[in-house]
Amino acid sequence: MKELKIQNLKGTTDYLPEEQVLRDKITNNLKKIFETYGYMPIKTPILNKYDLLSYKYEEDAEILNETYKLTDQADRKLGLRYDLTIPFCKVIALNKDLRMPFKRYEIGKVFRNGPVKLGRMREFYQCDVDVVGIDSRMIEIEQLIMVKKAFDKLNIDILIKWNNRKLMSGLIKYCNIPDASIDKVISIIDHMEKVSNKELIEEFKKNGIDNTKATEILDIFKLTLDEYSSKFKDTDISLISEGLSEINEINNLIKEFNLEDCTLFSPTLARGLSIYTGIVFEFFDKKKRITSSLGGGGRYDKIITDFIDNGEIYPACGLSFGLEPIYAILKEEINKNSLVDCLVIPMNQDVEALKLTTKLRENNIKVILEMNKRKIKKSFEFANKENIKYVIVVGEDEVAKRKYSLKNMETGNQELLSCDEIINIIKKNS
């Protein structure tokens, strides 16, 4: 018989109950925040036509290199979704009667065949919110406020870095780089904070940009917001003037809503994906327990417009919370207490014990009923190992008196109580 080595694929994992409870807590908190801001839930397929997933990207794009590709029995090219944005665009394109603006959230699995590190898996969940039909910068600032509220709820102090793709493209045009190379240059610039100048210049060289021009590009992306505003006050490059206008509007709103302490303008931030057309942002743990971003987003006005192609404009803006890096931060704080409130041990009183257990469960008390006829000592040992706080013994005398032996495993205190008294004690102390 063929030997099977049982293991998870790299970049995937199993979550045991205490771990999954924390993950559910994170997503439930996010859902409440999303719905407070008017976002409603949808669900989209994991499996998609590859043409849909590859739309908007060159075949050698990094995101497509990380896409899991497969075929069905009819030899059609398919892929596993790598994010929730493209499927959302498809929903809008297929449901043209939706009332605008349309605000949705989706929490679901996505797949990327990329590097694995702390907080980054190959099979993972994204928690996305998007809105289509609003062109005003007010939606960007509302989303930034929502990000701050969400992480406050999770007790994570964050820094939101932000930028504008129009400004980036305009600065590259200012350096006389051909339009066809702008996206590639932006991709290189996006790594400025992560790698050395020498490595960046080497990347530029691979793309036909000499050292002098590369140095010029790097220097222009080191200016402050005030320096950009001064240097390009009278620019005739529309992308720069439009980008600075949007940036200054967002900056004024950041001050208006007292977000200065948790935001930072970063001229090299691009968010990688070329779908973005305006403001972009990423959020990071201020304590740097995770160095990669905890999520991000921005404005993408063209992709739905191009999908539908009916002459209408569909401005869109969205963001994504990364469940994996958030979980990686919070898992150190997993509650070591049991997920169960009490253990019920029948002493040859199985039916009566099940009746009691049922009554407890009807009062939202989490109960395990001992069904393996273990000796009472072994049952108590099980309760201790599982950190179960209360144990109830149901014997012949207890059934006759309608009072049951309740033991607090933390204090050792034990007393005979009625079912209602037991319910009150457990609910009060759980």
Task: Say if 179 falls within a structural domain.
Answer: yes
Average pLDDT, the chain: 91
Task: Say if 11 falls within a structural domain.
Answer: no
One domain for residues 190 and 232: yes
Q: Tokens at residue 70, please?
A: 């497969």
Considering 272, 305, 333, which residue would you say is the last residue of a domain?
333
CA distances from 412 to 13, 28, 380 (A): 38, 35, 11
Taking residues 130-157, report their average pLDDT: 96
Using CA atoms, how far apart are residues 411 and 350, in angstroms rounded to an integer?
Answer: 27
CATH number at residue 389: 3.40.50.800
Share of the chain above pLDDT 90, in %: 62
One domain for residues 329 and 356: no
CATH number at residue 219: 3.30.930.10
> How does DSSP classify residue 120?
B
Considering 305, 333, 361, which residue would you say is the last residue of a domain?
333
Taking residues 68-96, report their average pLDDT: 92
Q: Give 3-state DSSP helix, strand, coil % of the chain, rounded to 5.
A: 40, 20, 40
User: 79 by DSSP, 3-state: which?
Assistant: strand
Q: What are phi and psi of 139, to 5 degrees?
A: -70, -35
One domain for residues 315 and 379: no
Q: What are phi and psi of 2, to 5 degrees?
A: -65, 130
Task: Say if 7 falls within a structural domain.
Answer: no
Number of domain units in the chain: 2
What's the pLDDT tens digit per position in 218-233? 999 999 999 999 999 9
Taking residues 192-216, report their average pLDDT: 86
Where do runs of H (alpha helix) occur along 102-224? 138-153, 165-174, 182-189, 197-206, 211-220
Domain that holds residue 359: 342-429
Q: Exposed, middle or buried: residue 112 (CB in 10 Å: 0-12, 13-18, 19+)?
A: buried
Task: Say if 156 falls within a structural domain.
Answer: yes
One domain for residues 236 and 273: yes
Task: Say if 9 falls within a structural domain.
Answer: no
Q: Tokens at residue 154, please?
A: 């999770």
Considering 273, 307, 333, which residue would you say is the last residue of a domain?
333
Using CA atoms, how far apart are residues 176 and 187, in angstroms rounded to an integer?
Answer: 17
One domain for residues 101 and 183: yes
One domain for residues 198 and 247: yes
Which pLDDT belongs to residue 401?
A: 87
Judged by average pLDDT, the poorest of 117-121, 250-254, 279-283, 360-364 is: 117-121
Using CA atoms, how far apart are residues 35 and 27, in angstroms rounded to an integer?
Answer: 12
Model confidence, pTM: 0.83
Task: Say if 392 falls within a structural domain.
Answer: yes
Which pLDDT belongs to residue 311?
A: 85
Model confidence at 272, pLDDT cuts 50, 70, 90, reads: low
Answer whether residue 337 shows pLDDT above 70: no
Task: Say if 48 falls within a structural domain.
Answer: yes
User: 107 by DSSP, 3-state: which?
Assistant: strand
Top mean pLDDT of 22-36, 42-56, 383-397 is at: 22-36
Answer whether residue 316 shows pLDDT above 90: yes
Model confidence at 208, pLDDT cuts 50, 70, 90, reads: confident
Task: Say if 12 falls within a structural domain.
Answer: no
One domain for residues 294 and 275: yes
Answer whether residue 27 shows pLDDT above 70: yes
| Number of DSSP helices (H) and strands (E) in the chain, helices first | 17, 16
One domain for residues 290 and 420: no
One domain for residues 380 and 251: no
Taking residues 207-220, report their average pLDDT: 88
One domain for residues 225 and 371: no
Show contacts of 144-150: CB within 8 Å, 24+ apart: 144/254, 144/259, 144/263, 144/281, 145/257, 145/259, 146/33, 146/34, 146/37, 147/281, 147/283, 147/295, 147/319, 148/259, 148/262, 149/33, 150/29, 150/30, 150/33, 150/321
One domain for residues 353 and 270: no
One domain for residues 324 and 353: no
342: number of Cβ within 10 Å: 26
